[in-house]
Amino acid sequence: MTRVAAVDIGTNSTRLLVADVVDGRLTQLERRTRITRLGQGVHASRKLHPDAIERTLTTLREYRAVISELGVSAVRATATSASRDATNRDEFFEPARALLGTAPELLSGEDEARLEFAGATTGLDAPAPFLVLDVGGGSTEFIVGTTEPEGLVSVDIGCVRLTEQFLTSDPPAPEELSQALSVVRDHLADVDREVPGAAGAKTLVGTAGTAWTMGAVELGVGPGESERIHHFRLTRAAAEDVYRTLATEPIATRRHNPGLEEGRVDVIVGGAIVIVAVMRHFRFDEMLVSEADILDGLALSIG
């Protein structure tokens, strides 16, 4: 048995998984998510904002305490879209390394996608091939395969990036929503070319915060009832309804939706646009929401 910790430092959130790994299987001990918005303004400035760096380091200090308390023997930390885009990433990476005892690895979109697929599909009881969809803050990963990735692509659309670029009104104006949807559709044409197998996938698996939140809002449950959300089947009709509701509410009203974390209130519409556009484009009738994701893939890669 190996006790491991995986840390995923994303554009919108920073997450921790501590688990025991035995014979390629995970036993979860602790899973935490904090909205740190490391990607604040990165699309425009190509730099990590000092406030965003400090928010994320504060969360890493919390995670370091958990890692020490649980007696973890191996840690792997990764950073994704915001760090890939930032020219000053070392201003964050150096103090992060000092806190965690290991330097964050700057994953390519393709590496991120492979780990995502491994985590999301392990032990999954659903028809293959799978299309795994990870809507992040700055990028979205598309991975198709049965037992391992057979095609994958990472595209520069995500809930934070779309919000900062297009959704500037409160609530978003109809023309802003249309423009964001059009941009996502253009990227999906790229997915068709890069991952032709996506059109033949039998099961859409949605991972990470946006998919999780849409399932939680539909069910009206919070993080304390995560077992109800994991492997929940979100129908396309329900996804469309959640999207319409969130997109037409001002932030002051939107934040009262059960299941919507405070840190996602201002960017959830951007993420919902991606999920709805994907379900429309590939004609999926439902999406299987999975708690298992890149964190699980990272943990398995250590053990």
From first to last of its 303 residues, the chain has per-residue pLDDT tens of: 899 999 999 888 899 999 999 988 899 999 998 989 898 888 788 899 999 999 999 999 999 999 999 999 999 999 977 788 889 999 999 999 999 999 999 877 678 778 888 888 877 889 999 999 999 888 898 999 998 889 999 898 999 999 999 999 999 999 999 999 999 999 999 999 999 999 999 999 999 889 999 999 999 987 667 778 889 999 999 999 999 999 999 999 999 999 898 889 999 999 999 999 999 999 999 999 998 888 998 998 886
Q: Is residue 6 exposed (0-12), middle (13-18) or buried (19+ Cβ within 10 Å)? A: buried
What pLDDT was estimated at residue 293? Answer: 85
Contacts for 250 with CB less than 8 Å, ≥ 6 apart: 170, 171
CB 42 within 8 A of CB 86: yes
Q: Using alpha carbons, select from 44, 43, 41 the residue that is nearest to residue 55.
A: 41
pTM, two decimals, is 0.82
* Total H helices, total E strands in the chain: 13, 11
Which position has the token pair 């604040």?
40
What pLDDT was estimated at residue 263? Answer: 85
Q: In 10 A of CB 235, how many CB atoms? A: 14
Q: What is the torsional sign of CA 201, 219, 32, 155?
A: positive
Structure tokens at 94: 């150096």
What's the farthest any 2 CA atoms get from each other in the chain? 54
Contacts for 163 with CB less than 8 Å, ≥ 6 apart: 266, 267, 269, 270
- Identical fold for domains 2-107 and 123-294, yes or no, is yes
Cα 279 from Cα 270, distance rounded (Å): 15
Q: Span 123-294: which CATH code? A: 3.30.420.150
Cα 21 from Cα 3, distance rounded (Å): 6
Q: In 10 A of CB 185, how many CB atoms? A: 13
Q: Using alpha carbons, select from 122, 147, 117 the residue that is nearest to residue 132.
A: 117
Task: Give the H or E element holding residue 71.
Answer: none
What pLDDT was estimated at residue 12? Answer: 84
Q: Span 2-107: which CATH code? A: 3.30.420.40
Which backbone phi and psi does 234 adopt, to 5 degrees?
-90, 115
Residue boundaries of the structural domains of the chain: 2-107, 123-294
Cα 205 from Cα 124, distance rounded (Å): 10
Task: Give the H or E element holding residue 153.
Answer: strand 149-155
